[in-house]
Amino acid sequence: MQKLLVCLVSIVICTFPVSCERVVDVTLNSSMPRYVIEGVITNNGVCRVLLSTSNNFDEDNNFDAISGATVSITEDQGGAILLTERKPGNYQSAYLKGKTGHTYHLLVNIKGQQFTASSVMPPQAVKIDSVFFSTEILGGTNRRIANACYTDPPVKGNCYRFVQYINEHKESTVFVDNDKFNNGHTVAYPLYFRNNDDDARRNIISGDTVRIEMHCIDSTLYKYWYSLSSLTAAVWAAPATPSNPVTNITGGALGYFSAHTVRSIRVVVH
């Protein structure tokens, strides 16, 4: 299983479906390994925290799971739920389902070192109304892309992340949007990607099944995913000394804790 090698800028390489998602990031400079926390609680019953350690760019890409940690999540209107380690580094609970508008607090203890984070699940689970495909010139190549159409609620401050699967192969590009310029409007959000690694599985062609998830996220998680997206783009454009994505975890760990809604749509490309 892969791991989140997040230290210092990430090129997102591969993940699994939402039930066991892992963002794989690559450390581009030498540094001491750091703890990596990937916590998710959703409105569809996913409650999972993945714990690992970061690696340097020149090291292998094996998953260094952290076992034996104590992990709990507390809802703002309830008590703490202790997560069970189902397999090395993978802590889950079947007793906690996220609710819109609620705040969740994560507490992780690794060998006496404590890490905390909080995340608010947005009050509305906005959905994708439709998807259409267009052909764009990206990096000098004609590429078919998906456009996700949705209606932004009239309340300001909505933030979104989109996750695209082509024949259930997850696109590595980080897609984020907010309502800064589109509050209350109908939006057609283009899922641009460059396919710099020339992976044929990433190209959209006729007959493909495309599934797009829409995550409603809080503003803190938007900053995390936006910074991750920006750092990734910078690496492809002009490699330089990278920095870490913005995290909402305190205590010195990398990663994120996200309470978000999930709605998805599936279409066949004609």
Q: What is the pLDDT of residues 156-183, one digit of tens each?
A: 999 999 999 999 999 999 999 999 999 9
The tokens of 193 are what?
A: 């990607």
Single-letter amino acid code for the residue at 17: P
How many C-beta atoms lie closer than 10 Å to residue 63's C-beta? 19
Burial 225-261 (b: 16+ CB within 10 A, else e): bbbbbebbeebeeeeeebebbbbbbeeebbbbbbbbb
Confidence of residue 197 (pLDDT cuts 50, 70, 90): confident
For residue 45, pLDDT beyond 70: yes
Q: Which has the higher per-residue pLDDT, 163 or 139?
A: 163
Give CA 135 to chain center in angstroms. Answer: 26
For residue 9, pLDDT beyond 60: no
Pairing of strands 169-170, 175-178: unpaired
Whole-structure pTM value: 0.84
The predicted-structure confidence for 56-90, as pLDDT tens digits, reads as follows 544 555 558 999 999 999 998 788 999 999 999 99
